[in-house]
A and B are shown apart, each in its own frame.
Chain A
Amino acid sequence: MVAGLLLDGCASPHIKTRMTDFYIPDVYESTNGGYSGYYSQSARSISAPGGVDEVWIIPRNPAATPGNEETPDSSLLLANLGGGEIPMPLSHTDVNASLSGYIGAVEVTQQFENPYTKKIEAVYVFPLPHNAAINEFLMTIGKRRIRGIIRERKEAQAIYQEAKRQGYAATLLTEERPNIFRQSIANIEPGAEIDVHIKYFQTLDYMDGWYEFVFPMVVGPRFNPPGTTNSLGAVTYLKPGERNGHDISLRVEVDAGVPIKDFECKTHVITKSVFSSGHLAVQLAPNDTVPNKDFVLRYRVTGDRIGSSLLTQRDERGDYFTVMLYPPQEVGSLLRQPLELVFVLDCSGSMSGHPIEQAKAAVERGLCLLRPGDSFQLISFSSTASQLGPQPLEATPENVQRGLNYLRSLNTDNGTMMIEGIKAALNFPHDPKRLRFVCFLTDGYIGNETEILAEIRKRIGDSRIFSFGIGSSVNRYLLDQMAKAGRGAVAYLGPADDAAKIMDDFFDRISHPALTNIKMDWGAMEASEVFPREIPDLFPGRAVVLTGRFKGASNAAVRVSGNAANAPVEFEIPVGSIGVVANKGLPGIWARTKIADLENQDIYAPNPELPYEIKQVALDYGLMSPFTAFLAVDASDVTDGTESETVPVTIPAPAGMKTKTTTPDD
């Protein structure tokens, strides 16, 4: 239960929201080499300096029917290449996910085709979960399936470029961010179809009693402060009312192992085909197939309380395990100390409309939940940062009313100088009598993630960061990493979510102490290389996944110890027995988690050896990483013709978002 101050302004926690139409600028930009281009009336190429692929700009059909608020993206984008009006080269994406316990195995098929009269290279920038262990890549041409090879990234790029130059069909998958990937398909002949299959494993999140499966569908635009780089390259967005003909189908099957009590999907219309004791199967409804927002499926299983559990898997490389730690029940019964709450609102252009209204509604609710003895501060950032006052204010009714007035006065502006918000939030002196929580409410559409995370690590002190992702296609990598760096937790507020409920859950969470300084005693398991190396604190309602290797006994007790409100807490985890196949994805999940851990080290304590180490882990386990890439070449045939034009796949804007101010030159 939560309690708060009674104020006139707090009577209605819900700020009325409105949906707005999209606005996408007629520009794309990459600062990787510093080039940009604008749509023109005929297709033209831009040679990008710095080794970036040549980028083609395809004009759009000026007669495309504009959409309206009820049916955005309802028309078809037509591109003009060589005089004819024809659709774009990515026709369909198919997703099949199998969830077993808290492990997901996901297969993605992207269907490319060439509707033009000339040979093309298609380039598609798309998102996947940042914890995805991508370990399979196949190119299908007709009935022929060619398995892609994981290679060192530069080597793969060189082979791809040479194959492209010589006229062979080839595909290349590279990682541009931990959650953003680039698919390149060379030498698609006119009328030809090439499918690309990707498979990955991931662990699911567990929040407030719900397991959550997320499949991101679209890359949001990224704001790059002057002086930062962005390697995303050719990302072009549809205009309001346009569609590129690309649709998506998605199926999810859940084998929970225990009875499923309930499930929900607030992001999409789904149809259910199976819902029995421990089994659930759902799919996207035929009328909700535009890939412009994250798909989020949540389910919960029966039982008042879920205990921590451990899964093991053996393969030729050794024994692996994952453990999902849940906080013990007794932690939730302890009461909280006075709080110092700092709300930091992203008021950049990409938050315009529904997202900023959602964020304001959440903060308003938060202010109303403060108790006497707490203090608070409000900070907003866009091109610059501003705040309610120089110091945190006591949570008196008068001050909270001041805060509400300030909140209501905030408007969105160009630019996302998040670094200014970070500095403003973490710079002022901390009151040691209160627990300081910094709440960032943002869509995370920035390109300088590493700079942001390094700044948080540098300035965090005694503060904890709780990040709130606002919008339909949030940069979940950044939000998750901010919470990790800030020893807090993350929550997501989608367009259909109740802002007040999200804030109520947050107050529930911080109203009880976290289990801190967690230590694992692996006993006779003899565990090693357990990641993440720094075990996050356990908050009520949240789980933490650890993964490692072991060479000892499988049936020994594993003990967890820590502190809650300065009192020691200890509990035990039951261990499964080796030989029982838990999940064949565990080795890949372990390797991906190790890579993520090394990537974090590279952000916070750069070391020239780290890239080599990351690359070696990725090559040994056949995984995508920033330093490896999947490559497939069909060397059995040379395609006709010598010229090939590069066509970037134009993508829809994230649902509910205006993007007028997402590039610095706007």
Chain B
Amino acid sequence: MKRWLTILICALAAPLFAQELESQAHFHAVDIYADSGNAPLAAYQLEFSVTNVVTKIAGIEGGQHRAFRDAPFYDPKAMQQERVIIGAFSTDVAENLPKGKTRVATIHLETFGNTRPIFQLKLQTAADSAGNKIPVTVTCEEKKIQ
């Protein structure tokens, strides 16, 4: 069943940088959101990558909801290709799990060059508290530095 699989490219249509990137190395914090609609989100696994510039992943932060606040684990093999495969799960009851759109992680990374990075997300799986696969939309958004 692949119908729930979502591939999303976040091209940063609305530029977060008003000006051209100036130096060679830039740091970004990219929020990852999962939208499970009315279903309680108990588990997910997704792949994050940057498609157009040299990138170094520098940290993975946990999400907004209590169920996903711990920093997710990553696959060290994938990391060697600068792809992040992260996943997390909660064994809590459905009432204590997030529904709708929630930030599940933040990826901290360094990019090189003056091209704006294009982020790519692939949802690999998601499940509710009963272990059933559920359709989930994943999106990302670069955090605006204060």
**A residues lining the B interface (CB < 8 Å):** 138-139, 143-151, 155, 159, 162-163, 166, 168, 170, 619-622, 631-638
Contact = CB atoms under 8 A, between A and B. Distances in A.
Given A633-B108, A635-B108, A144 B62 contact: yes
Contact of A147 (B29, B72, B80, B109): B72
Contacts of B29: 634-636
Nearest to B61: A146
Given A145-B61, A151-B56, A622-B76, A635 B146 contact: no
Contacts of B25: 162, 166
Interface string B72-110: 111011011000000000000000000000000010111
A388 B59 CA distance: 59
Interface in B102-146: 106, 108-110, 143, 145-146
B58 interface: yes
A555 B110 CA distance: 49
B8 to A, nearest CB: 21
Nearest to A151: B56
Given A155-B56, A162-B110, A149 B79 contact: yes
Contact of A149 (B58, B62, B72, B77): B58
A625 to B, nearest CB: 13
A166 B146 contact: no
Contacts of B146: 637-638
A163 B58 contact: yes
A633 B110 contact: yes
Contacts of A147: 59-61, 71-74
B57 interface: yes
Contact of B59 (A146, A622, A638): A146
Nearest to B27: A635
Nearest to A616: B80
Contacts of A622: 76
B28 interface: yes
Interface string B46-58: 0000000000111
Nearest to A197: B71
A621 B76 contact: yes
B69 A145 contact: yes
Contacts of A145: 61-62, 69-71
Contacts of A631: 58-59
Given A146-B71, A149-B60, A635-B109, A166 B76 contact: no
Given A147-B72, A147-B73, 19 more contacts: A138-B71, A139-B59, A143-B69, A145-B69, A145-B70, A146-B59, A146-B71, A147-B61, A149-B57, A149-B58, A159-B58, A162-B27, A168-B27, A633-B27, A633-B108, A634-B29, A634-B59, A634-B108, A635-B27
Given A149-B58, A151-B56, A163-B58, A636 B74 contact: no
A251 B109 CA distance: 35
Contacts of A138: 71
B104 to A, nearest CB: 13
A144 B70 CA distance: 8
B74 A149 contact: yes
Chain B interface mostly helix, strand, loop or mixed? strand
A269 to B, nearest CB: 34
A166 B28 CA distance: 12
A166 B25 CA distance: 9
Contacts of B74: 147, 149
Nearest to A637: B146
Interface-central residue, B29, B108, B110, by most chain A CB under 10 Å = B108
A561 B69 CA distance: 52
Nearest to A143: B69
A637 B145 CA distance: 5
30 contacts: A139-B59, A145-B70, A145-B71, A147-B61, A147-B72, A149-B57, A149-B58, A149-B59, A149-B79, A150-B76, A150-B79, A151-B56, A155-B56, A159-B56, A162-B25, A163-B110, A166-B27, A170-B58, A620-B76, A620-B77, A622-B76, A632-B108, A634-B61, A635-B27, A635-B28, A635-B108, A636-B61, A636-B106, A636-B108, A638-B146
Closest 7 CB pairs of A and B: A147-B71, A636-B29, A635-B27, A633-B58, A622-B76, A635-B108, A635-B29
A205 to B, nearest CB: 29
A307 B121 CA distance: 52
Nearest to A170: B58
A163 B27 contact: yes
A146 B108 contact: yes
B141 to A, nearest CB: 12
A638 B145 contact: yes
Contacts of A632: 58-59, 108
Contacts of B57: 149
A633 B55 CA distance: 14
B16 to A, nearest CB: 13
A633 B109 CA distance: 8
A150 B60 CA distance: 12
B130 to A, nearest CB: 23
Nearest to A155: B56
A621 B80 CA distance: 11
A637 B28 CA distance: 9
Contact of A633 (B59, B62, B69, B79): B59
Given A146-B71, A147-B71, A636 B143 contact: yes
Contacts of A144: 61-62
A319 B13 CA distance: 46
Nearest to A623: B76
A622 B57 CA distance: 14
A633 B57 CA distance: 9
Given A147-B74, A621-B76, A638-B145, A159 B60 contact: no
Interface in B28-47: 28-29
A54 B146 CA distance: 29
A155 B55 CA distance: 12
Contacts of B77: 620
A531 B79 CA distance: 27
A150 B77 CA distance: 11
Contacts of A638: 145-146
A632 B71 CA distance: 12
A145 B68 CA distance: 11
A145 B79 CA distance: 19
Nearest to B60: A147
B133 to A, nearest CB: 19
A600 B129 CA distance: 48
A151 B60 CA distance: 14
A232 B25 CA distance: 29
A634 B109 CA distance: 9
Contacts of A139: 59
Interface-central residue, A147, A159, A168, A638, by most chain B CB under 10 Å = A147
Contacts of A633: 27, 58-59, 108, 110
A471 to B, nearest CB: 37
A88 to B, nearest CB: 26
A621 to B, nearest CB: 7
A144 B62 CA distance: 7
A385 B80 CA distance: 50
A340 B99 CA distance: 75
